[in-house]
Amino acid sequence: MTNIMGALLLYRNRLQLLLLAAGLLFILPFGHMAVRHQQWILFEDLMTIWFCLWIPLAFQLGVMIKRQMVSPMAGLMPGYRAAHIVVAVVIWVFVAVLISLWLSTVPCGVGARVKSAWVFLCLGMYLATIVIAYVSERRTLFFGYGILLFIVGHTRDFVHLLVKSDPAYYALMGLAVCVFGCFLWRLAVLREGMPEFGCVLSWPLHRSKTSAPVRAYIPHPVPLFAQKKGLMRRAFHWAHVEAEDIPGIAWILVLSPFVFAAYIFYWAGPEGFYAHPYANLLVLTVSPLAVMLCFCYRTVSFRDYALLRPLRRQDLAVQWGCFLMVILMAAWIFTSFLFGVLPALVWHMRFLEASKFWAFLLFTGIFTQMTLVCLMYVASLKNQGMAVAIILVYGGYKLLEALGAPYYDLAAIVWHLGLAVGVCACLAAMTYRRWCHEEV
């Protein structure tokens, strides 16, 4: 076996990657059939699912190559880096370039071009996950996700931009290739002594294992965690620990105004808030969820410590559930204010008097909670629920979109709220039972 085949072996045995890749490839023949029969709506939907699968795949690939390069063996096994980088490039070329080329041959023009551009955007996120070592993976995920949601929600404008401008389309692809090249170069020279090494795998448990230089500066949070008494105080303890991640905060400060400014700029445009309810639903539900997940990640990581507290398991499960819900509601209020109320205050004061406006915000809050409960349920089934959860969440949105959910009709909103609350209650009860018997 050659070393390249050896490196390829790592991907072959990674179940999540295989499932996601199989999903991507499975959709292609259906897409082809849809094109042949000129079923453009079906084609668009298939491509959206394809896009949704690509996000977790890109993320997993990014994490995978990073893990390979932080291994101590990367510096000691002859030909290790070259072989792994070659394999990563081959996979990228196969998945991204070939499939994008196929998409660009589809004679439907606009849709295919845009979808292939999406592929490159996802690739951008994949690259951001791995290139920008100073940002933790989850922060990158959060920001990448936020930006992508914004773009997905404003597809029509994006379509027009790309269709009208070939240079923009090719510039996007060229940029992705350039960034990918830079990323490969950094990986090829990455060593443990380098400043970015400690942040390459910045989820706390990985970081504590992989980066001695960073470990020397960051106090291990667990002893401090154990001193905190209440669940909420413990949760905020992690926020405090996170605040020590100065480069990460700097990154937030740099990015946030741009995202917000872009959103506000669009929102203030002629079509207004109600023109793209689907987009607003995404922004107002997934963004708070992402904030909540980022905020609670460490707390969730150390659940086993919490289980040692003198408390019944059932009570702890209830506390966990309530805590996650409260954090999510806080995040939802924050994003609703930032993306809903604040722009309305500045540009469209009349919206604040419309009951539909508040009903829509309420709807997003309930839907967010429902999504959280779905996530918690999936996570309780299996610890590696992130990829599945993302697909579920997107699937839910896609379903709502397909059903043409009338967000402005108060009766429909009430009906959806009732449905969401019912689903929430059932899933929460099932999750609670699973938590009570969970082995940690």
Partner 1 sequence: MRNIIHLQDVRKAYGRKVILDRVSLDVPEGMVIGLLGKNGAGKTTLLKCLLGLFKVDAGKSLVFGDDSWHLSAGVKASIGYVPQGYRPYPWLQAGWLIEYTASFYPQWNSALTAKLVKDWGLDLGARVDTFSEGELQKLLIILALGHEPKLLVFDEPVASLDPVARREFLKMILDVVSERPCTILFSTHITSDLERVADTVAVLRAGRLDLCGGIDVLKESVKRIRFHCPAGVLPVLGDEGVINSYVSGQQAILTVRDYSDARRVSLEKISGARVEVEDLNLEEIFLEMNR
- Which residues would be at the binding site for partner 1 (CB under 8 A)? 1-3, 5-7, 9-10, 13-15, 71-73, 75-80, 83, 191-193, 209, 212-213, 216-217
In the numeric block, which tokens belong to residue 414? 């009430």
For 311-314, the CB contacts below 8 A with 24+ separation are 313/435, 313/436, 314/432, 314/436
- Least CB distance from residue 209 to partner 1, whole Å? 6
Is residue 35 a contact partner of residue 43, using CB atoms and an 8 Å limit? Answer: yes
- Least CB distance from residue 242 to partner 1, whole Å? 21
- Least CB distance from residue 69 to partner 1, whole Å? 12
- Least CB distance from residue 213 to partner 1, whole Å? 5
- Residue 247 to residue 253: CA distance in whole angstroms: 10
CA dist list (Å): 261 to 121, 267, 343, 355? 20, 10, 10, 26
Q: Which is nearer to partner 1, 39 or 71 (CB)?
A: 71
Instruction: Report helix angle 355-381 to 386-403, nearest 10.
Output: 140
- Least CB distance from residue 434 to partner 1, whole Å? 22
Is residue 183 a contact partner of residue 130, using CB atoms and an 8 Å limit? Answer: yes
Q: Which amino acid is at 15?
A: L
Residues 6+ apart with CB under 8 A from 374: 389, 392, 393, 396, 427
- Least CB distance from residue 9 to partner 1, whole Å? 5
Count Cβ neighbours within 10 Å for each residue of 188-221 and write b for 16 or more, e otherwise.
eebeeeeebbbbbbbebebbbebbeebeeeeeeb
Q: Which is nearer to partner 1, 209 or 303 (CB)?
A: 209
Q: Which is nearer to partner 1, 4 or 175 (CB)?
A: 4
Q: Which is nearer to partner 1, 16 or 39 (CB)?
A: 16
Going by C-alpha positions, the residue among 248, 272, 257 that lies closest to residue 347 is 272
Q: Which is nearer to partner 1, 14 or 32 (CB)?
A: 14
- Least CB distance from residue 439 to partner 1, whole Å? 15
Is residue 424 a contact partner of residue 89, using CB atoms and an 8 Å limit? Answer: no
- Least CB distance from residue 188 to partner 1, whole Å? 14
Q: Which is nearer to partner 1, 13 or 105 (CB)?
A: 13
Going by C-alpha positions, the residue among 31, 26, 29 that lies closest to residue 47 is 31
- Least CB distance from residue 76 to partner 1, whole Å? 5
- Residue 58 to residue 63: CA distance in whole angstroms: 9
Q: Which is nearer to partner 1, 154 or 207 (CB)?
A: 207
Going by C-alpha positions, the residue among 15, 11, 34, 33 that lies closest to residue 86 is 11
- Least CB distance from residue 175 to partner 1, whole Å? 32
Q: Which is nearer to partner 1, 72 or 269 (CB)?
A: 72
Going by C-alpha positions, the residue among 259, 229, 261, 224 that lies closest to residue 240 is 224
- Least CB distance from residue 4 to partner 1, whole Å? 8
- Residue 119 to residue 341: CA distance in whole angstroms: 33
Q: Which is nearer to partner 1, 192 or 438 (CB)?
A: 192
- Residue 163 to residue 114: CA distance in whole angstroms: 8
Q: Which is nearer to partner 1, 37 or 209 (CB)?
A: 209
Q: Which is nearer to partner 1, 75 or 395 (CB)?
A: 75
In the numeric block, which tokens belong to residue 395? 């699937």
Residues 6+ apart with CB under 8 A from 273: 267, 280, 340, 343, 344, 348, 351, 357
- Residue 155 to residue 157: CA distance in whole angstroms: 5
Is residue 318 a contact partner of residue 278, using CB atoms and an 8 Å limit? Answer: no
